[in-house]
Structure formats: C-alpha cells, structure tokens
Amino acid sequence: MPDPRLPAATPLRPRRTAIVVGASSGIGAALTRKLAAEGYTVAAVARRADLLETLCAEINAAHGEARALPFPHDVTDYDSVPATLQKILRTFGHLDLFVYNAGIQHHVRLDEFDFEKDRAMLETNLLGAVAWLNPVGAMFHALKAGHIVGISSVAGDRGRIGAPAYNASKAALTTYLESLRNRLTRRGVTVTTIKPGFVDTDILRAAPKKNFFWLITSEQAAEGIWKAIRARKQTAYVPPQWGLLMLIIRHIPSFIFRRLSF
C-alpha cells in the first residue's frame, strides 16, 4: 500500500512518481525541488540523511503536502540496492521516472596516480549507477514503460589529462546508458543521458582552478534537465552550447589533443 502521507491521485491529477539518487545537494537537490514543483512525488535518495531530511521538509512545507520523502542510502552499498528500491516502490506504489545523479570527483594532480581516489570515483559514478540501473531497467522492461535519466558529464567525451578515472567513469556511464537505451527503447522505455558542463556545486568549488566558463547554478542545471525529461531527449548537453563545443573537441586529432592542458 502507498504511504498514506502522499497526495492521493485523481483522474484530473494523476500522481507521477520519481526517484532521484544523489539528491542531498547540488544538482540532485535542485532537481528534486524542480520535480516536486512540477507535480512529482519524489523519493530523495542519498548518503547524508540529515541533508535529505532538511530538503524534504523544505519541499513539503512549500507545497503544503508530502511531495518528497527521504531514503538514506550509500550507492556503494550495492547489495542494499534491491531492498531500498523495493521499499520505495512499496511506499509510492509505482514509479514513472528514475534519475541517477550520484557522483564524486577527487582532485588529482597531474603527477598523481592514486588508486584509492580512482576507485572511489569509479565505485560511485559507475558501479553505483549500474547497481541501480540494472533493477530499474529490468522493472521498466517488464512494464514496457518508464523513463531513466543518467547524469553523465562533458568530461566523458574525451580523455583529458586531468582526473583520468573521473573522465573514464563518465565515459563508461555514457556508453552504458546508450546500450540501455538501445535495449529498452523497443520496450517503450525512454533513456536520457545528461551531460552538464560547469555547474556551481561543491565538487567545482573544491577544484583548484577557478576560471570556469559557461558556469551555471544547480537550479539552472535542473531546469535544463527538466526540459530534456519533458522532451524525452536521448542526449542533452546542459547548457546546450556545450554540444557544439564538444563536437569540435571530439574531432580534434589526437596528436594535437594530447598537447592541450585542459
């Protein structure tokens, strides 16, 4: 049975539901707010329970009803994913939209080769995504309906000299989402890959380099992601001008690209 605290669905007001994994701050928190404002009931999933509680309380107070519920979970605890997903489904009754936004980026010096940092980024950015997207994909495959959104990055479009493991994690996520899309499209399921550029989040604030161009807020990123969700796009750069820039960067010959410093 769905949680009685949730708003009841009516023929004129169907209750759409979403899961946002990585919802406690940054893009995830902004997108959770945006989805709630658009009428979704959102399961906010993240490791930091205190931030989740605060976020959901803020959203519910703003709308005068329960539109966001917290579900604390560490995405690297892969074995607990099925139980967490089932708990959300029992609470919500059904699922329309799933967003995997969890991600970390450690600063890596150009002379640094740190396996622990690299492993942490791969575990959260890629393995955590696969751990969630496999059961969600299987469920939507059986239902012949649903929408999956994965937050990748422009960093995955090319192997830059900075943070090789971060770039690799996002490149792998992009390819995994494309494969999932090709598998699930024929079953009526939409899979959208989002590739943000520079977003003013904790990850970027911790970076040593500060001359970021086309910098947007988390709220602006959430708005761009929402437009891509509404349009059921396959791939969307946020903001859109990154699409043209990355098209150019992807076609720079390797012997030139390896000499670049970004």
C-beta of residue 196 within 8 angstroms of C-beta of residue 151: yes
Rounded to an integer, what distance in angstroms lies between the CA atom of residue 117 and that of residue 106?
6
What is the structure's pLDDT at 197? 95
**Domain membership flag for residue 47:** yes
**Domain membership flag for residue 68:** yes
**Domain membership flag for residue 7:** no
Q: How deeply is 113 buried, as exposed, middle or buried, from its count of CB atoms within 10 A (0-12, 13-18, 19+)?
A: exposed
What is the structure's pLDDT at 206? 61
**Domain membership flag for residue 235:** yes
What is the structure's pLDDT at 155? 94
- Rounded to two decimals, what is the model's pTM? 0.93
What CATH number does the domain containing 30 carry? Answer: 3.40.50.720
Q: Which domain holds residue 216?
A: 16-257
Number of structural domains in the chain: 1
**Domain membership flag for residue 195:** yes
**Domain membership flag for residue 10:** no
DSSP 148: E
Rounded to an integer, what distance in angstroms lies between the CA atom of residue 47 and that of residue 27?
15
**Domain membership flag for residue 6:** no
In DSSP notation, 232-248 reads: T-SEEEESTHHHHHHHH
Place of tokens 């720079």: 252
C-beta of residue 67 within 8 angstroms of C-beta of residue 41: yes
Nearest to 236 by CA among 160, 166, 181, 168: 181
Please report the sign of the dihedral spanned by the C-alpha atoms of residue 199, residue 201, residue 202, residue 205.
positive
Copy the structure tokens of residue 228: 């891509």
What is the structure's pLDDT at 46? 97
What is the structure's pLDDT at 102? 97
Residues recognised as catalytic? 166
Q: Per-residue pLDDT for the chain (262 aa), expressed as one digit of tens each? A: 556 567 666 565 678 999 999 999 999 999 999 999 999 999 999 999 999 999 999 999 999 999 999 999 999 999 999 999 999 999 999 999 999 999 999 988 889 999 999 999 999 999 999 999 999 999 999 999 999 999 999 999 999 888 899 999 999 999 999 999 999 999 999 999 999 999 988 776 666 666 678 899 999 999 999 999 999 999 999 999 999 999 999 999 998 988 887 6
In this structure, the number of other CB atoms found within 10 A of the CB of residue 43 comes to 27
C-beta of residue 169 within 8 angstroms of C-beta of residue 127: no
**Domain membership flag for residue 1:** no
